[in-house]
Amino acid sequence: METRTLGKSGLKVSALGLGCMSMTSVYGPPADRKQMIDLIRAAYEHGVTFFDTAEAYGPFKNEELVGEALQPIREKIVIGTKFGFDIDLETGERRGGTNSRPEHIKQAAEAALRRLRTDRIDLFYQHRVDPQIPIEDVAGALKDLITEGKVKHFGLSEAGVGTIRRAHAVQPVTAVQSEYSLFWRQPETELLPVLEELGIGFVPFSPLGAGFLTGKIDENTKFDATDFRNHVPRFSPEARKANMALVEVVKAAAERKRATPAQIALAWLLAKKPWIVPIPGTTKLNRLEENLGATALTLSESDIKQLDESADALALEGARLPEAALKMTGL
């Protein structure tokens, strides 16, 4: 698989990474652990070298899964994980809100290293900006961890451009993670230009619109009771019905290119910038293989223009996150 470099950092990763969150939480009950270990290792065999997790997924269970799966090939891959929610590092109890106090960050790093069965974290993101802690203090803590060799690269997730600039001035930011897809294109307005200016890579999560752009979801789809999409405005039955117009746009492009809707959605992202590395998640080998097929799909400037203009003409309904979660983002 093609590799890409995240910004000016020199961090080389596969053009598509693997988001591991759904293997243990958020989209329903945890999947079978052995099957997920096999899937992660299959991803590597298919050329994936970039794996995304976080202490908050579980909490802790996802990092433990990823650590076990990748231990035999640790020297051949890149692991991104995250800190920043207020979680008891011993019990995993969620206390609500954020916690990016420098001393907590360093304790979280030590705990993540143990769970991931490694001696360094390749890319350590602040999961959400902490309004109580100056971002300069957060960047300073990461600088210390990088100096100690426990962390290789500093990342930010769902941060605004002002925060990114301030952090980058203290410790260069290698990558920023946020939602970005044909379903949610706001990063194009401010975020992408600033990342290009500063030489920072971009790692879009939910590149398939939390599954919506695959064409497998419609207004009649029933989600598991534990699936977070039950609480997301854009996944209400009414919003899904209205937003099917976007899926039809993607399906039409897929027919023209003899591809699947998921492959079109991912190829669109890959064509946007050479420093964009999407991290679609899945729990199924056939979906993994389908997603990776996007790396072999070339969209022309005309293809991209047609998708952009068709999407721009639509009035999509529903916020991308519940209101409380939106308040924790900088976008």
Chain position carrying tokens 């698989």: 1
User: Under a CB-based contact definition with an 8 Å cutoff, are residues 22 and 283 in contact?
Assistant: yes
Q: Choosing from 44, 57, 125, 180, which is the catalytic residue? A: 57
Taking the C-alpha atoms of residue 274 and residue 201, their distance in angstroms, rounded to an integer, is 9
- Write down how long the chain is: 331
- Give me the amino acid identity at 93: E
What count of Cα atoms within 13 Å lies in the side-chain half-sphere of residue 158? 19
Taking the C-alpha atoms of residue 63 and residue 33, their distance in angstroms, rounded to an integer, is 12
Token pair recorded at residue 129 = 């900006």
Within the chain, residue ranges assigned H as helices are 33-45, 61-70, 102-116, 135-148, 161-170, 191-198, 237-257, 261-272, 285-292, 301-312, 323-326
User: Three-state DSSP class for 285?
Assistant: helix
User: Three-state DSSP class for 181?
Assistant: strand
Token pair recorded at residue 120 = 């360094």
Q: Give the closest residue to 118 by CA, choosing from 74, 77, 78, 153.
A: 74
Q: Give the closest residue to 307 by CA, choosing from 242, 240, 239, 261.
A: 261
The secondary element (H helix, E strand) that includes residue 211 is none
Other CB atoms within a 10 A radius of the CB of residue 301 amount to: 8
44 is a catalytic site residue: no
Cα separation values, 272 from 145, 148, 235, Å:
33, 35, 26
| Catalytic residue ranges | 57
